[in-house]
Amino acid sequence: MKGLEFEGRRILVANIDGKIYAHDGTCTHEEADLSNGFILGDRVVCPLHLSQFDLRTGEAVTSPAVEPLKSYGVKIQGPDVYVEVD
């Protein structure tokens, strides 16, 4: 899991079982930086109040967060990972 910043936006990129996923890197509860959290299976755990988000879908799996993370498309070209931001 790695946190990136692009034009003031936090993006979280994670490798789950060899597949790369990208989502907003800011918790939908109170704006914690999820890259400071930790991975638990296929979830990221928020470092502030411990909400868990599914890293495959962005879904908020445990409270207090209820809103999902925005997801981004990912393209792999050789060793490079590109994230499609709008």
Binding residues (CB under 6 A) for ligand FES: these are: 27, 29-30, 32, 46, 48-49, 51, 64-65
- Closest approach of Cβ 83 to ligand FES, in Å? 21
**Nearest-angstrom CA–CA distance, 78 and 28:** 32
Q: How far is the CB of 82 from ligand FES (least distance, A)?
A: 27
Residue 15 or residue 36: which is nearer to ligand FES going by CB?
Answer: 36
Q: What is the SS3 string spanning 26-86? A: ECCCCCCEHHHCEEECCEEECCCCCCEEECCCCCECCCCCCCCCCEEEEEEECCEEEEECC
The distance of closest approach from Cβ of residue 37 to ligand FES in the complex, given in angstroms and rounded to an integer, is 8
By C-beta, is 5 or 67 nearer to ligand FES?
A: 67
Of 61 and 81, nearer to ligand FES (C-beta) is: 61
52: left (phi over 0), alpha (psi -120 to 50) or beta: beta
